[in-house]
Chain A
Amino acid sequence: MTEFWMLTKEQAGSIFDRVRKFSSADEVEVLFSGGRFALTRFANNAIHQNVAEENHVISVRSIFSGRTARAVTNKFDEDSLRQVVVASETLSKVQHPDPDLLPMANAPEPAGVGHGGTPLVPSRYSKETAEITPEARAEGVGKIVGVAHRHSLTAAGVYSSGETFEGIFNSRGLSEWHTQTSAEVSITMLAADSSGWQKANSPDASKVDPLMLAEVAAKKAADSAQPRDIPAGKYTVILEPAAVLDIVGFMFGDYSGMAILDQRSFLTGRIGQKLFGENITIWDDVAHPLHSGSAFDGEGVRRRRIELVENGVVKRVVYARATAERMKRSEHKDKVGPIEATGHGFPLPNEMGEMPLNIVFAPVDNPQTVEQMIASTERGILVTRLWYIREVEPFEKMLTGMTRDGTFLVENGRVQAGVRNFRFNESLMHMLSNVEAMSQPVRSCGEESFDMVVPAMKVRDFNFTEVTKF
């Protein structure tokens, strides 16, 4: 096969049939992924990098008598397919038998009628987004740079677009396929001693407005000029959605049955406890209209809508198939809530098990806009985004990181000035117990965590420990 543009499910099915013909394993599974992606990058008010790629990847997993392994290639000719099957089988045969390994997943029931209600996922493909050209991206960048010139600022950022596919076939008859488009704009506006930032993405480019993002980023850069040097300490903070996303994202790897079994999760021994404030309710929901992603996991199991936290109480975690079976036999089984495969597993074999990747913070009854939060704040800090977040202590979920690209002093209900950037050292459990107000949740994206549907938050006693020099 040569020069295909976007692999279709039918083409993938045909490739899977060839793989199956080559395979001598008890069971065989093939994952497909790839697509086209292009990114126009700008800095100093000019395009300086501009790239495009096409790639298609095939990943073969074989099972022999409780042994499994995987081999991957991006070559699809007959010899390469044969070789990747041989590589997968050779690697599988030398493994030790894994008593926890399950037979491959069966084909799921149709979406919407499955056990527990597997949700219907809306189309995430936009033909117009797939067809965005380099010229159109350059035009978008030109508009962003125009805003920078108008405000005497320097713009840097990206405008990307693409279309991707992912699919899974196995010898039990399972076949799942997902195609998706994406468009993303991220903008930093730089002034002499300040900066502002905005970022948005969507499967549908028409929902991403480069001009609006550029204007907001420019205003943040202008408003934070001549930053004041105010001391570190505990402050009320107003975290915009991107800042919320980047910090809370560091806990969702722990909402995993495998993480509990490994005793590396901060939820070990804490499921059923109230760890956060009454106003915190969190779902994982791939079908949420603001989300993206496929309806199935790394084994082809349909993703289910799972309530992780209800009114501050951690209700349950997510499971891959084998993790659920292990948990049912473990000492934790009576203390972790419902135990069943939820469709959140990573491709096998892996060490991490599973993770919720479509996080939705539930709306509150009395949402406040960021402006309302500012108006009700006597003294606090408004944070546009956070940066370089790392885990300092895993069981209290203490994280460190910096503010960046638009940090402001709020006094007497108004934004007074920009401030020099802070370092924080803060426990997520502490932070999510101190949320005084939230906005309506929105689709948000940052650089430290994956995309989520999250609100802005007003949080009291947020622990800033140091100030940097700008």
Chain B
Amino acid sequence: MKYVANWALNAAAQRGTTYADVRVIAHRNRALTTKNGKVGSALDTESVGMNVRVIADGAWGFAASAELGRGAVEKTAVAAVAIARASARVKREDVRLAPEKPAVAEWSTPYKIDPFSVSVEQNIELLLQIDAELRAVSGITLAETNLNFNREEQWFLSSEGADIHQTKLSTGAGYAAYAFAGNEIQKRSYPNSFGGQWQNKGYELIQELDLVGNARRIAEEAVALHKADQCPEGKLDLILDSSQLGLQIHESVGHPIELDRVLGMEANFAGTSFLTMDKLRTLRYGSDLVNVVADARQEHGPGLGTFGFDDEGVEAQCTPIISNGLFTGYLSSRETAHTISLTRSGGTVRAEAWNRLPMIRMTNISLLPGEKPLTLEQLIASTEHAVLMQTNRSWSIDDKRYNFQFGCEIGWEIKHGKRVRVVKNPSYSGITTEFWNSLDAICSRDEWTLWGTPNCGKGQPQQVMGTGHGASPSRFRGIKVGSAFQGS
């Protein structure tokens, strides 16, 4: 595919561009779902295409095409240049790219079992086995399961000499059990809601999750929620399981640290950020225990934000975001690095597909585990009165990422160090910095999980991206609990 990229680079160079890069991508996906004992969907998809991103007259242009013949590729490059020159008609200043030594590299996701090598029959049997376990529990009215495999092969070449070939692999799986009775629909999911757990791994992820072994318990919990009391309302201590905390990190740390948001580039859709640049290295984002990193390196783990190089050819890095509670870093790109006096991009730029423009995206934004040994059960035992909430059910946050409200599938009221009752419809709300400053305990590494969020939306046209979030269960003091049902 390098010849395709070079056709485009040459065509762009002949038209006076000062920078150009080309991505040629072949993507393959397999998606299988079941619902109530039947296959819901069975879909194999491949998509192949290329794009050219150029700077001409100091402004950006981008064009993409599925056609990889020389004529079509050169036409696409010419279109990108024309678009850049049109952009230059309404510009404030020339685009400035942080310098980056052009990389020549090969990188691929480590895996043990190629998920595409596992037969569809075996996958369907697994899903139907889970389905049968879920529906064996009286009261379950709807059971849904899913498996999803992705392989993306990308060639990145730039006019600066970068030549990077990457192959990324991801696997996702999960299920949900619904119980409808009276005037209520209750739901439990495993290992997480909205598609389960996703990682940059092979089929070994499926084997690690023990999907079948947890199905009966999950279904029983969904039914039991109908007999549970409503979650109490008021200021209470809150313990979040690691999956819900992963989403809390995503929404109230991951998005506000995107430097393009901070600079107003997402103002019309995703919004801006309360993290104006005066807050860098001055804001107490959280309590002293809070240490958050943006880490795209393989050594952080197989998160959906793990890669060798970003889509600008910048090698994966680890950026401290919150250090002992102090706000210390943004997610940056080659274009935005200079605005915070960085001499190099933080390497966080990715695109959903060959036909989308790369932009700043979360990599693996993770809360580091507590250093002192602490299990979830020990945390509960040390808690006087709190609600433990598990598995996200709803999430919402304002367009500067201040006010949030989350609902979870299930909760347990904790009193005097013990779970005393299950509560239904648990929810909590707060203001981002007040919330993170109320954190007073984080479980240790044994309880830490690197969760995958496969559905992060951003950009116009909107792009959906996978991000990673490592977290272990944590406790927050004096949180507004039950707020979703206030006044209803």
Stretch at the interface among A9-17, A169-177, A392-400, A408-416: A392-400
Closest B-chain residue to A398, C-beta based? B488
Listed stretches A90-98, A108-116, A355-363; interface member: A90-98
CB pair B268 A156 closer than 8 Å: yes
> Would you give the shortest CB distance from B7 to chain A, in whole angstroms?
14
A372 at the interface (CB under 8 A from B): no
Interface residue ranges of A44-78 to B (CB < 8 Å)? 44-57, 68-75
Q: How far is the CA of A49 from the CA of B44 in the complex (A)?
A: 32
Tell me whether B69 and A3 are in contact (CB under 8 A): yes
Instruction: Decide if A120 is an interface residue (CB 8 Å cutoff).
Output: no
**A53, B355: Cβ atoms under 8 Å?**
yes
Q: In the complex, which residue of chain B has the Cβ closest to the Cβ of A394?
A: B185
Q: How far is the CB of B97 from chain A (nearest CB, A)?
A: 14
- Contact pattern, A 153-191, Cβ under 8 Å of B = 1, otherwise 0: 010111010000000000000000000000000111010
Known: A349-B41, A400-B405. Is A145-B35 also a contact (CB below 8 A)? no
Closest residue of chain B to A430 (Cβ to Cβ) is: B488
Chain A residue nearest in CB terms to B37: A96
A71 to B28, CA, bound (A): 11
A453 to B183 alpha-carbon distance, docked (Å)? 31
With contact pairs A49-B62, A51-B357, A402-B396 given, residues A72 and B486 touching in the complex (Cβ less than 8 Å): no
- In the complex formed, the residue of B with least CB distance to A217 is B268
Alpha-carbon distance between A56 and B402 when the two chains are bound, in angstroms: 41
- Tell me the bound Cα distance from A91 to B45 in angstroms: 12
User: What is the bound-complex CA distance between A74 and B403, given in angstroms?
Assistant: 42
A202 at the interface (CB under 8 A from B): no
- Say whether B136 faces chain A, with CB atoms less than 8 Å apart: no
Provide the bound-state CA to CA distance between A404 and B403, in Å: 12
**Neighbouring A residues of B427 by C-beta, 8 Å:** 392
Taking CB atoms and an 8 Å cut-off, the chain B residues in 30-76 that contact chain A are 33, 35-36, 38-49, 51, 59-67, 69, 71-72, 75-76
Contact of B90 among A47, A51, A98, A268 (CB under 8 A): A47
Residues of A within 8 A of B318 (CB): none
Q: Which of these, A90, A95, A137, A158, contacts B268 with CB under 8 Å?
A: A158
Complex alpha-carbon distance, A49 and B54, angstroms = 11
User: How far is A100 from B35 in the complex, measured between Cα atoms in Å?
Assistant: 13
Residue-wise interface mask of A (189-214) relative to B, using a CB-CB cutoff of 8 A (1 in contact, 0 not): 01000010100000000000000000
CB <8 Å contact, A72 and B39: no
Contact residues in A for B330 (Cβ distance below 8 Å): none
Measured as residues with beta carbon below 8 angstroms from the partner, the interface class of chain B is 35 or more
Interface bits A74-85 vs B (CB < 8 Å: 1, else 0):
110000000010
**Residues of chain A lying within 8 A (CB to CB) of residue B36:** 262
Which residues 100-131 in B have Cβ within 8 Å of A in the complex? 119-121, 124, 128
**Does A469 have its Cβ within 8 Å of any Cβ on chain B?**
yes
Q: Is A37 an interface residue (CB 8 A)?
A: yes
- Decide: A468 and B268 in contact? CB cutoff 8 A: no
A263-B431 CB under 8 A given contacts A141-B90, A425-B488: no
Q: Which residues of chain B are within 8 angstroms of A41 by Cβ–Cβ distance?
A: 268, 460
CB closest chain-B residue, reference A55: B66
Residues of B within 8 A of A49 (CB): 60, 62, 265, 357, 359, 460
Q: Does B84 contact A (CB under 8 A)?
A: yes
Classify the interface of chain B: helix, strand, loop or mixed.
Answer: mixed
Contacts of B407 in A (CB 8 A): 390, 392, 400
Query: With A and B bound together, what is the CA distance between A391 and B41 in angstroms?
Result: 25
CB of A128, distance to nearest CB on chain B (Å):
18
Taking a contact as CB atoms closer than 8 A, the residue among A100, A186, A423 that contacts B403 in the complex is A423
Q: Is the CB of A465 within 8 A of B185?
A: no
Interface pair B64/A53, CB less than 8 Å apart: yes
Cβ of B274 < 8 Å from any Cβ of A? yes
Contact A55-B49, Cβ < 8 Å, known A141-B90, A154-B264: yes
Q: Tell whether, in the assembled complex, residue B399 and residue A388 are in contact, meaning their CB atoms are under 8 Å apart.
A: yes
CB–CB A72/B398 < 8 A: no
Given A95-B39, A392-B407: A3 and B71 interface contact (C-beta under 8 Å): yes
* Measured CA separation A142–B87 after assembly (Å): 10
| Chain B neighbourhood of A387, CB < 8 A | 271, 398-399
Of the residues B41, B90, B124, B271, contact of A46 by C-beta under 8 Å: B90
A135 near B89 (CB under 8 angstroms)? yes
Question: Which residues of A sit under 8 angstroms from B33, Cβ to Cβ?
Answer: 351
Inter-chain CA distance A168–B350, complex, in Å, is 34
Residue B394 lies at the interface, judged by CB distance under 8 Å to chain A: yes
- B180 cross-chain contacts in A, Cβ below 8 A: 263-264, 268, 395
CB distance from B404 to the nearest CB of A (A): 9
Given A73-B46, A186-B268, A469-B403, answer yes or no on A94-B121 (Cβ-Cβ < 8 Å).
yes
Q: By the criterion CB–CB under 8 Å, are A72 and B45 in contact? A: yes
**Which residue of chain A has its CB nearest to the CB of B82?**
A134
A466 at the interface (CB under 8 A from B): yes
Q: Are A402 and B399 in contact (CB under 8 A)?
A: yes
Q: Are A56 and B39 in contact (CB under 8 A)?
A: no
Return the contact of B86 from the options A45, A135, A349, A393 (Cβ within 8 A). Answer: A135
Q: Which residues of A contact B120 (CB under 8 A)?
A: 90-91, 94
Within 8 A of A (CB), among B239-289: 263-269, 271-272, 274
Q: What residues of chain B lie closer than 8 Å to A470, measured between beta carbons?
A: 274, 398, 400, 402
CB distance from B430 to the nearest CB of A (A): 9
B83 at the interface (CB under 8 A from A): yes
Chain B contacts for A396, CB-based, 8 A: 183, 488
C-alpha spacing A295/B265, complex, angstroms: 37
Asked if A447 is at the interface of the complex by the 8 Å CB criterion, the answer is yes
Interchain residue pairs with CB less than 8 A apart (9)? A39-B461, A47-B87, A95-B39, A137-B86, A145-B90, A186-B269, A264-B185, A390-B396, A402-B396
Please list the residues of chain B having a beta carbon within 8 angstroms of any beta carbon in chain A.
33, 35-36, 38-49, 51, 59-67, 69, 71-72, 75-76, 79-80, 82-84, 86-87, 89-93, 119-121, 124, 128, 141-142, 144, 178, 180, 183-185, 263-269, 271-272, 274, 355-357, 359, 393-400, 402-403, 405, 407, 425, 427, 429, 431, 460-461, 483-488
> Considering the complex of A and B, which 8 residue pairs feature the smallest CB-CB distances, nearest first?
A351-B40, A134-B86, A468-B403, A69-B42, A156-B267, A263-B180, A72-B45, A46-B92
- A-B contacts besides A50-B86, A134-B83, A187-B268, 16 pairs, CB < 8 Å: A50-B61, A56-B66, A91-B42, A91-B44, A94-B121, A94-B124, A96-B39, A160-B460, A190-B264, A190-B272, A264-B185, A351-B35, A392-B407, A392-B484, A402-B399, A468-B431
